[in-house]
Structures are given as C-alpha cells and as structure tokens.
Amino acid sequence: MTTLSSPPRGRAGDRTAALLIYTAVTALLLVFLRNDITEGLSKLLQPVLFGAFLLSLVFAFQWRAAGWAKALVFAAGIGFVLPFMGRENTSYFDLVIQMLIFAALALGLNIVVGLAGLLDLGYIAFFAVGAYLWGVFGSPQFGEVTGNAAFAGGVNPALFWLFIPLAVAVAAFVGVLIGLPVLKLKGDYLAIVTLGLGEVIRIFANNLDVTNGPQGIDAIESAPVPWLNSVAASLGFAEDQYRLFFLYFLVLIVIAVVVMVNFRLDRSKIGRSWIAIREDEIAAQAMGVPLLRTKLLAFATGASFAGAMGVIFAAKQNFIDPKSFDYFQSIGVLSMVILGGMGNIAGVMLGAVVVTLMNLMILPTLSEVLQQTFPNINANLDPSKYQRLIFGLVLVLMMLYRPEGLLPSARRKAEMHEHDATPPDSLNAGNQLEGDVGSEVYSPGLSTVKDNDRTGSER
C-alpha cells in the first residue's frame, strides 16, 4: 500500500528584527516630524504616519517574534509614543481613546454576532444605557431631576468608580430584557426587532425629562485622581489635559479586561456553545445546548461591555445627547466587526481602529487640506460629507475581494473559502484513493462540492 504524505508546512521566520526596525522608524518619523506636518499638503502625512505607527502594534500581535520584543513595542507605543503625541496635540489623545472605546464595543458585538450568530442592529442602545446612567448622576442634571440643591453639581465624582460596574450590571439586565422577547426569532426577523428596540431606547432618551430630551446633558464630571494629575503635571501635560490623561489609562485597563474576557470565553464551554448555535441551532439543541439561556448570556455579555464603555464615553465627551446613539452608530460598530474579521479578537479591534481613524482623522484632514489649498472650492466637494459613501464603497470592495475581513479567524476563513480549490495536505491526501487520479478531493468535515454528489446515507 502506498502512503501519501505532504511536505511539512513551513513556518514563518522570526521577525524580531523587522518588528523592532519598523516600530523604531515609524515612531521616530511620527515624533520628529510632528511640527513639520501641520500645514498645507504635508498635513496629509499626519494620518499616514499615525496609521503606520499603529500598524506596528498590529504586527507585534501578529508576527512571529521574541516575546521581549513584542512587550517592548507595546510598552514603548502605549507608554511613551502615544502619550507624548497626546501631550503635543490633544486630538491624538482624543482619537486613541475613541478608538479603544469603539474597539470594546466591537468586541462586545463580536460575541453576539461573530460567536453566537445573532444579528443585533440595536447594540448601541446598551452603550446609551451606560452613558446616560453616569450622565444623569454625574452632572447638574441630577440636581434638576431631584430638585435638591445638594446635588446641583451631581453626585460625588468619586462615585464614578462605582458606576462602571453598576453600568455593566444595568446594561446586562437591559440586554436580557431585550433578548427575552426576541430570541425565538432568527435572521432578518431578529435584526429588524433588535433595530426597533434600539430605536425605542433612543426615543426614550429623546423624550424623557430625566435625560433632558434632545438638549442632552452637559458638564458631566469624571473621577478625581489627584496623584495621576501630579504625574501628568510632572510630565509636562497642561491642566486641561488631565482628564484625557486619566481616561487614556483607564480605557487601556478596561480594554485589557475586555480582551482577556473575550479570550477566555472564546476558549470556554460557553464559547463553543455559542459557535454551535451559530452553525446549527437544531444540532446544538440536540447535543444538549440550552438555546434560550445561552443566547441570553451572549446578549448580556455583549451589552455589559457596551455599558462600561458608555460611562467612559460620557466622562470623556463631557456632553451626551440622543444623536450620539442613533441607528447609524449600531451599523458602524457592526461594520467594524465585519471589516476587521468576524470572530477574531485582533481583527475586530483592527476594524475599530481603521473605521475610527478614517472617520475622525483621515477624512477631516483631507477636507481641511482641500479647503486650505483651494479656498473657493465648492462646499459640496467636502470629503467629510461623503463619509458614509466612502465607507460604503470600502465595504463593497471588502465583500467582493476579502469577505472574511482584514484579520479573519481560521474558522471564518475556512467558511468563506469552503468551495475554493483546496491544496493537498495530510488531511485530504489520505482521502484520495490510489487509482482516483481525476476524482475530486474533499477536505474532512466540509460538504461535497458537486450538487449531484450524495452522502453515504443517501446512497
């Protein structure tokens, strides 16, 4: 009997040196050219250099390199380069915090959509729950609601720390309430109902007196951290940058917790149950997976991440209104998940970074440069006005040429390329009989390619 074997698969070479060189070059260019790329056409280099540097963090996660080199890249980028750029230009701090907030939102939605396969178009409602929870209590609006002069400035700002876990619990509870009546639905019906429920939350915020209606809530406080303010002052940060300095490190801690929880869930029994439900609900139920409880857990987990980030978002913005939580925000977060790579933690975070960078830096910078270069240009040609058009074209091209996303999970990539030509390997080589030279080679676990092929039970 002839044994067919395939050559061992090659492993990518060690890229430690390449990682360190790339990170050093992009960081030095970003830092030393910061004052030379603020006017004229050279300003277009701002998003280019900033995006190139952020790629070094992605490479540190993806490339095969020494552990100490990866740790050095993350430590230098997160602990030095980004804070330094934020001190020089506060917009960098604001942008990075916004990226991390949306990354956490995308990771939460990834559990609902990417793992459990539940298309939720009202996900931003949980974000609104967390934001309004702290927005009402942490601002003068609480004094207006209670009519108590003692709360004219809101509750004690130190209670901010209490409201983060409280927002997690409240958002999870709202997720269960929304999930209970809709989880018997599937596909398009589930998407439409969740969209409606998400709009209900926004309309409540737009009409209730406690949320101050469409006027929104301003003067939202953040937690006082005197020792961190002293550190920021010693590093040369201005007093008006203390809030962002604090929120930058807070959101880093929260995103680290969110990523750790995602990793644990993805490799747990619960994560496998979500994937089983996504693949085939009937088969999952037959194998003993409790559908309702498992789906509710997915909704509650994803909602809890959004609730925590809502509190941080309200503290960062200092102002919230219902327009911040409309339907297009939910679509935006869903697009981040799909663009980055559904089911892959690193991919989802990359999708959030790309979308936020395009919306908040690339298009506004391009608009500003066009206006400076051509003062009499038609206002209708402003690129920032075509944000959704440009993003829609990007999504169309992605779906045509890379439907699995920028950094897809192995499972998702296999699903997207199920019917592509499969290169011979040790798994399918053993399935090809010695005399079947012209027969189709199938990979174990995949369905047959030809429509007239029958399974063993059908023959």
* Between 387 and 232, residue with greater pLDDT: 232
In the chain, % of residues over pLDDT 90: 33
- Which residues are within 8 A (CB) of 233 and not within 5 positions of it... i.e. 6 or more apart? 239, 242
pLDDT band at 329 (very low <50, low <70, confident <90, very high): confident
- 261 exposure class (CB count in 10 Å sphere: 0-12, 13-18, 19+): middle
How far CA 437 is from CA of 79, 277, 428, in Å, comes to 59, 38, 13
pLDDT at 232: 92
Residues, the chain: 459
Amino acid identity, position 407 = L
How far CA 423 is from CA of 78, 428, 437, in Å, comes to 41, 9, 15
pLDDT at 4: 43
pLDDT band at 23 (very low <50, low <70, confident <90, very high): very high
Question: Residue 353: pLDDT above 70?
Answer: yes
| pTM metric for this prediction | 0.84
pLDDT at 1: 43
In the chain, % of residues over pLDDT 70: 86
Query: What does residue 34 show for φ and ψ, rounded to 5 degrees?
Result: -60, -35
DSSP 8-state code for residue 78: I
In tens, the pLDDT along 194-208 reads: 888 888 888 988 998
Query: What does residue 320 show for φ and ψ, rounded to 5 degrees?
Result: -135, 150
pLDDT at 419: 61
In tens, the pLDDT along 359-380 reads: 899 988 988 888 888 888 777 7
Question: Residue 7: pLDDT above 50?
Answer: no
Question: Residue 25: pLDDT above 90?
Answer: yes
How far CA 113 is from CA of 274, 306, 363, in Å, comes to 10, 14, 28
pLDDT at 417: 63
Longest CA pairwise span in the chain (Å): 90
In tens, the pLDDT along 282-322 reads: 888 888 888 888 888 998 999 999 999 999 999 999 999 99
In tens, the pLDDT along 113-143 reads: 888 888 888 899 999 999 999 999 999 988 8
In angstroms, the CA 132 to CA 217 distance is 8
- Mean pLDDT, range 68-85, rounded to an integer: 92
In tens, the pLDDT along 413-446 reads: 666 666 665 544 444 444 444 444 444 444 444 4
- Mean pLDDT, range 7-36, rounded to an integer: 81
pLDDT at 412: 66
**Mean pLDDT computed over every residue of the chain:** 83
Which of 5-19, 249-263, 270-284 has the largest mean confidence?
Answer: 249-263
- Mean pLDDT, range 46-66, rounded to an integer: 90
Query: What does residue 400 show for φ and ψ, rounded to 5 degrees?
Result: -80, -40
pLDDT at 430: 40
Amino acid identity, position 33 = L
pLDDT at 72: 93
**CA 41, 47, 52, 58: dihedral to nearest 10 degrees?**
-170
pLDDT at 433: 40
- Which residues are within 8 A (CB) of 35 and not within 5 positions of it... i.e. 6 or more apart? none
pLDDT at 320: 92
In angstroms, the CA 98 to CA 359 distance is 11
pLDDT at 5: 43
pLDDT at 442: 41
- Mean pLDDT, range 367-395, rounded to an integer: 82
In tens, the pLDDT along 220-261 reads: 988 889 999 999 999 999 998 999 999 999 999 999 999 998
